[in-house]
Amino acid sequence: MENAHLKKFTKTEKRQKQKKEQIQLQSQTQTTMSAILNEEILVEAAPVQETYKEYYPLLSPHSYAAIVEDKKDEVKYSLLEPTLTPEDKTRVNEIKEILWDELSISSKEFKNKKESEEFLKEKIDEKVSKYKIEVDPITLEKYQYYITRDFLNFGKIDGLMRDENIEDISCDGIQIPVFVWHRKYESIPSNLIFRTAEV
């Protein structure tokens, strides 16, 4: 008799467990679906296809200017630079912090800008080697470009400052495209946007 009760109890317990697992699975599925739907809502609409009207170097082989036009005939200035992955960004920031902490130099020590840029590139090489930051030569060159751009030049707008066709640059605030006054296309938006109040 005890055996029959035990079997019945075990079966009931098993069913309850299965039901509980089913409810949990349904709940997880609903949460996942809800997250997917919310994600879809947050995803921006697919960008309008653009065609290049013009393309020219600013600081070859790292930065280029492209004048692009979309299907609505809207013209935009695109500053093209090497792509940084999230890991690249982390490493670039890490190297920058090391340089800030360990370098103590004056701009008066250099005859010209080129000399200071070469010095900084050498120091980046040294720090990468010293702190055993694993990076291939092509990626290291990309890091040198960004660090030199941010330390010795004009940061995000450096490419715009190098473009002889640009007569004026204006930024009306964060989350708004930086506008340029181009000799040929006049006032057009660029693909540069300051996400925060960074300098």
Burial of 198 (0-12, 13-18, 19+ CB in 10 A): exposed
- Please list the pLDDT of the chain residue by residue as tens digits (199 residues): 444 444 444 454 555 555 555 545 454 544 444 443 344 334 444 466 789 999 999 999 999 999 999 888 899 999 999 999 999 999 999 999 999 999 887 777 888 989 999 999 999 999 999 999 999 999 999 999 999 999 999 999 999 999 999 999 999 999 999 999 999 999 999 999 998 876 5
- Residue 95 CB partners (closer than 8 Å, separation 6+): 124, 127, 128, 133, 143, 147
The pLDDT, as a whole number, for residue 189 is 96
| Rg over CA atoms, the chain | 28
Q: Are the C-beta atoms of residues 158 and 147 closer than 8 Å to each other?
A: no
The DSSP element (H or E) to which 129 belongs, if any, is helix 113-130
Q: What is the CATH number of domain 50-80+164-193?
A: 3.30.450.370
At residue 31, the pLDDT reads: 44
Question: What pLDDT, on a 0 to 100 scale, did the predictor assign at position 42?
Answer: 40
pLDDT tens track for 1-50 = 444 444 444 454 555 555 555 545 454 544 444 443 344 334 444 466 78
